[in-house]
C-alpha cells in the first residue's frame, strides 16, 4: 500500500463533480445524490449530507394499497425514505458495489434489498412470486422499477449479466445471488425436494429461479440468506410454501 502525504490524500479522496446528473459515484461503494426537489432512497443509507435536506420515512399509503397488502403478506418490503430540499446526500449500503442505471421508459425487476435510490420520476411496485411468501426469512421479494430517470442498485462485488433467450434455453439462478432481471421476464421458483433435503443433507441448491424468454438476469458472486428450509407453524417455511 502506497503512503500518501496529507495533501495527496485530500486531493485523492475529495468529492468528484464529473457530470451534471442527479446521481454520481464518488467511489464504487458511495453514491452522491444531488437533491433539487426530491428522490427516494433506502432507509438508513445516508452517510453524510450538506445543504437544506429533509428526510421523511415513506408513508404507509404512499406505497399504494397493492404494495401495502403485498408487504403485509410477505412480512417484508422495500423501506424507503423521501429526501427533499436543496443539497447533496451521500448514500451507501454496507459497502456493496453501486451501479447507476438510466431507465428510458423500460421496466426492470430488482431484489428489494438491492434498491439504493431512485429519482422521483421512477415508479416502484412490489412483486411477489408464486410460493415465495412462505419461504422468506429475510425478504426475497422483488420491486418493479419503471419510467424515465436514474436508479441506483447494489450488489456484493462485481455483478454478472447473463442473457436469456429461446435459443440458449432457460437460465437457473440461486435466489440468494440474484440481483435484477429485465422487465419482460417472469421467473418461476423451481424446487428439488427429497428426503435428504428435508433432513439437512441436500446439495444446498434446493430452491432456484428459472428464467425463460428473451432478456437478461443479473447475479452477484455472493449469496445473501433469504430462504430457510424449515418452518415453525403450519404453512410457514419451505414446507408450508410448497404445500400452499
Question: Does the residue 112 lie in any domain?
Answer: yes
Residue with cell 419461504: 135
Whole-number mean pLDDT of the chain?
Answer: 81
pLDDT score at 139: 42
Residue 232 confidence (pLDDT) above 50: no
Do 178 and 165 contact (CB within 8 A), yes or no?
Answer: no
Q: In the chain, pLDDT over 70 holds for what percent of residues?
A: 73
Residue 97 confidence (pLDDT) above 60: yes
Question: Does the residue 189 lie in any domain?
Answer: yes
Pinpoint the alpha helices (H) of the chain: 6-13, 64-74, 195-198, 237-243
**CA–CA separation, 125 and 144 (whole Å):** 5
Residue 76 confidence (pLDDT) above 70: no
pLDDT score at 59: 57
The string of pLDDT tens digits covering residues 101-128 is 999 999 999 998 899 999 999 999 888 7
Question: Does the residue 237 lie in any domain?
Answer: no
CA proximity to 120, closest of 209, 213, 23, 5: 23
CA proximity to 41, closest of 99, 80, 88, 69: 80
Question: Does the residue 88 lie in any domain?
Answer: yes
pLDDT confidence bin for 186, thresholds 50/70/90: confident
The string of pLDDT tens digits covering residues 1-38 is 689 999 999 999 999 888 889 999 999 999 999 999 99
pLDDT score at 117: 97
Residue 71 confidence (pLDDT) above 60: no
Residue 160 confidence (pLDDT) above 60: yes
Question: Does the residue 239 lie in any domain?
Answer: no
- DSSP-derived letter for residue 141 is -
The string of pLDDT tens digits covering residues 46-65 is 999 999 999 998 655 455 54
Question: Does the residue 57 lie in any domain?
Answer: yes
Q: What's CA 218's distance to the chain center, in Å?
A: 11
**CA–CA separation, 8 and 3 (whole Å):** 9
In this prediction, residues 142-170 reach a mean pLDDT of 95
Residue 132 confidence (pLDDT) above 70: no
Residue 237 confidence (pLDDT) above 60: no
Residue 94 confidence (pLDDT) above 90: yes
CATH number at residue 111: 3.60.160.10
**CA–CA separation, 179 and 157 (whole Å):** 12
The string of pLDDT tens digits covering residues 198-215 is 455 544 567 889 999 999
Give the domain range for residue 183.
18-232
Question: Which is more confidently placed, 241 or 45?
Answer: 45
Number of domains comprising the chain: 1
pLDDT confidence bin for 225, thresholds 50/70/90: confident
In this prediction, residues 159-166 reach a mean pLDDT of 96
Question: Does the residue 241 lie in any domain?
Answer: no
Do 201 and 154 contact (CB within 8 A), yes or no?
Answer: no
Verdict on whether the full-model pTM lies above 0.75: yes
Do 35 and 86 contact (CB within 8 A), yes or no?
Answer: yes
In this prediction, residues 147-154 reach a mean pLDDT of 98
pLDDT score at 43: 92
Question: Does the residue 67 lie in any domain?
Answer: yes
Amino acid at each position: 500500500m502506497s503512503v500518501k502525504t496529507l495533501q495527496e490524500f485530500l486531493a485523492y479522496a475529495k468529492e468528484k463533480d464529473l457530470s451534471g446528473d442527479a446521481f454520481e459515484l464518488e467511489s464504487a461503494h458511495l453514491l452522491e445524490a444531488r437533491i433539487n426537489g426530491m428522490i427516494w432512497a433506502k432507509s438508513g443509507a445516508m452517510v453524510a449530507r450538506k445543504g437544506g435536506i429533509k428526510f421523511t420515512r415513506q408513508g404507509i399509503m404512499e406505497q399504494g394499497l397493492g404494495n401495502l397488502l403485498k408487504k403485509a403478506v410477505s412480512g417484508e418490503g422495500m423501506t424507503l425514505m423521501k429526501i427533499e430540499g436543496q443539497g447533496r446526500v451521500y448514500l451507501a449500503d454496507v459497502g456493496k458495489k453501486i451501479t447507476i442505471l438510466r431507465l428510458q421508459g423500460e421496466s426492470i425487476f430488482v431484489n428489494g434489498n438491492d434498491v439504493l435510490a431512485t429519482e422521483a420520476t421512477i415508479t416502484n411496485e412490489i412483486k411477489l412470486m408464486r410460493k415465495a411468501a412462505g419461504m422468506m426469512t429475510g425478504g426475497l421479494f422483488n420491486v418493479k422499477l419503471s419510467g424515465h430517470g436514474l436508479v441506483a442498485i447494489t450488489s456484493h462485488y462485481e455483478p454478472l449479466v447473463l442473457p436469456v433467450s429461446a435459443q440458449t434455453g432457460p437460465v437457473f439462478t440461486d435466489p440468494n445471488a440474484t440481483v435484477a432481471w429485465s422487465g419482460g421476464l417472469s421467473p418461476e421458483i423451481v424446487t428439488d425436494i427429497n428426503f435428504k433435503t428435508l433432513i439437512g443433507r441436500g446439495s444446498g441448491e434446493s430452491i432456484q429461479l428459472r428464467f425463460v424468454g428473451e432478456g437478461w438476469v443479473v447475479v452477484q458472486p455472493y449469496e445473501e440468506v433469504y430462504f430457510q428450509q424449515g418452518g415453525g407453524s403450519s404453512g410457514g417455511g419451505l414446507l408450508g410454501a410448497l404445500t400452499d
